[in-house]
Structure 1
Amino acid sequence: MKSRRMFWQIAEKIEALIKSGTYPPGSRLPPERELAETFDVSRPTIRESIIALEVKHLVEARTSSGVYVLEPPKNDSESEGSDISAFELTQARALVEGEAAALAALSISEGELATLKTTLEVMESGVGAEKADREFHLVISRATRNNAIVLAVQKFWTLRDTLPQIQSAYANVCTQSDKDRLNEHKAIYTALKNNDAQAARTAMHAHFNRLINALFELSEKQALEEVRKKTSQTRDLYSLRHLVG
């Protein structure tokens, strides 16, 4: 993965200070010059970092006043899970489903293997691939003979299918890698068929590792685009072209 841009690294450091309470909600961030000295970067880098934080709704730049830390959004019972990111869900799935695959490899039935093979054929056809993908993972969870694991995997898929931020992220990466997804599922199936717990765990982890890396690349691309847009708007606002043109 490409190294992250400097302004984004600084933005993440400031975000960490905000979350730690160093800069609490309502407080004003130190002046641009002071931040540049603190992080040993140029003032333009600090400006871009602040823009990145504005895009994430963590701070607000107020004309002739400074940059202020915003209050975090409040959660309520109707927004359960709304703060879960695609990264968090994918990591959780990797941890749980990796072990589920290892456990399933020791107890999976011939009937369940046949069902998995059918889902692979559907994925390869390209028609109904998403539904087949879901069934593939649910069959493996049931093959563990552990109802708690089944419930956990079902909940993961509910979050995947109902939270807008996760729907959007997954849609953008899954549709671009159908071949990779199919090959990864085939590797999982082969390990299960061979009753090889370690290979099943490794294959499942490889599947989610590729997915989370794709999510990171997409996230960084979108963040850079938003920062460029915000920078362009700021440049237009303070441009002196009308004075020197």
Structure 2
Amino acid sequence: MEDLILQGKLKAGEKLPPEREMAKEFGISRPVIHEGILILENRGLVTLRPRHGIVVNDYRKEATLDLLLSLINNSDHKLSPNLAKDLENFRIYMEKGIVIRICENKNKESDNKGLKYLKEINKQMLKAEKAEDLAELDFQFHLGLGLLSTNTLFALLVNTLKPAHMDLLTRFYASEKIKNQVVGYHNELIKALSERDLETALIMIEKTDSYSTYGSYND
């Protein structure tokens, strides 16, 4: 049912059949159907209306974080190209906010520790060879950025989206040519942050986070 709603085969405002009919159609018990409907409601996909039945929501307006977690944690789901692009754009704009916070921070001593950690990750990336290891190190680099912002929600959001990013990053690092380019962008970003050069830092976030900037990845 979730797939049908997300694929647009069940439209917003459409009324679902009664639970007893769905139980018969799917060949499972009515209590199981009811439990599934409650899960869909919790994810913001449907609304149970007294005397009106089950109505499909516009998930773009009603869906909750539970739906996103379902999409990225369920092995039966692969991110659609549109959702993957949305995830990429979301990270770009979120991390632009992160570097603004870092550049505005007056506690350079604290930042120096964080930037030193990012440099160490870059060194490890140069030594790593497996796509899975590079994906994990890349994720830790961006988590380190979130922690540097001193805004707890940034780091929590980065962690929440980890499964989706890891899937994309592992495929991304299947190309051996990518690693050095990423590390180069990372180093330029670190330099800009250490110098509080916000303009350059924002440009480097755009380059680092946009898969389209990596020619060989798209070939």
1:179 and 1:172 map into 2 onto residues whose CA distance is: 16
TM-score, normalised by the number of residues in structure 2: 0.54
- SS of equivalent to 1:109: helix
Determine the structure 1 residue equivalent to 2:126. 124
Cα pair 1:142 1:150 within 8 Å, conserved: yes
Aligned length: 142
Cα pair 2:135 2:169 within 8 Å, conserved: no
Determine the structure 1 residue equivalent to 2:115. 113
Task: For structure 2, list consecutive stretches of 5 or more residues without a partner in the other structure.
Answer: 1-7, 12-62
In structure 1, give the amino acid aligned to 2:71. G
Could you tell me the percent identity over the aligned residues? 16
Determine the structure 1 residue equivalent to 2:198. 197
2:152 and 2:139 map into 1 onto residues whose CA distance is: 17
User: What are the superposed Cα offsets for residues 131-182 of structure 1, whole Å, 9 maximum, x if unpaired?
Assistant: 3212211111111111111211222223323xxxxx1x43332331112111
Quick one: which of 70, 74, 77 aligns to 1:80? 70
CA RMSD of aligned residues (A): 3.4
2:68 and 2:87 map into 1 onto residues whose CA distance is: 19
Task: For structure 1, list consecutive stretches of 5 or more residues without a partner in the other structure.
Answer: 1-17, 22-74, 162-166, 222-245
1:106 and 1:125 map into 2 onto residues whose CA distance is: 33
User: Which of the pair has more CA radius of gyration?
Assistant: 1
Determine the structure 2 residue equivalent to 1:97. 95
2:154 and 2:213 map into 1 onto residues whose CA distance is: 25
User: What are the superposed Cα offsets for residues 82-130 of structure 1, whole Å, 9 maximum, x if unpaired?
Assistant: 5753212111111101221222233361111111111111111125433
- SS of equivalent to 1:105: helix
- SS of equivalent to 2:71: coil
Determine the structure 2 residue equivalent to 1:157. 162
Relative to structure 1, the CA distance from residue 78 to residue 138 in structure 2 (aligned partners, 3 Å threshold; closer, same or farther) is closer
Alpha-carbon offset, residue 200 of structure 1: 1.3
